[in-house]
């Protein structure tokens, strides 16, 4: 698939409604998407929900566990109300 647009950590996309958050660890180029107005983060594989808590995905499937933990802290620090995780559904504060 050809790339339509390259994005970087901190870039604003979708008419400045969404900020790109670099969240490497699970994979090297993983990103999450933060929608401040909606107080929501699409975490993708940067987080899973287990026992009503946001955690990194299974460490056995992370390319770099230390970076995955840093990325999880980074998206938690956004203090969003909703986190949408690829594995595990929706986490709501």
Pairwise CA distance, residues 25 & 6, whole Å: 19
pTM (predicted TM-score): 0.89
How many percent of the chain have pLDDT more than 90? Answer: 66
**27-45: pLDDT as tens digits:** 889 999 999 999 999 999 9
Distance CA 12, CA 68 (A): 22
Domain residue ranges of the chain, discontinuous segments joined by + = 12-92
23-50 burial by CB neighbour count: b if 16+ within 10 A, else e?
A: bbbbbeebbbbbbeeeebbbbbbbbbbe
CATH superfamily placement of domain 12-92: Ribonuclease Z/Hydroxyacylglutathione hydrolase-like (3.60.15.10)
Q: At 59, is the pLDDT very low, low, confident or very high (cuts 50, 70, 90)?
A: confident
Give the model's pLDDT for residue 60.
84
Element (H, E) at 47: strand 40-50
């Amino acid at each position: 698939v050809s790339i339509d647009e390259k994005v970087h950590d901190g870039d604003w996309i979708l008419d400045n409604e969404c900020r790109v958050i670099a969240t490497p660890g699970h994979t090297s180029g993983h990103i999450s998407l933060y929608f401040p107005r909606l107080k929501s983060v699409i975490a993708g594989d940067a987080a899973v929900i287990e026992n009503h808590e946001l955690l990194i995905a299974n460490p056995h499937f992370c390319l770099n566990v230390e970076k995955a933990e840093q990325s999880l802290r980074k998206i938690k620090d956004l203090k969003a109300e909703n986190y949408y995780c690829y594995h595990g559904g929706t986490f709501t504060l």
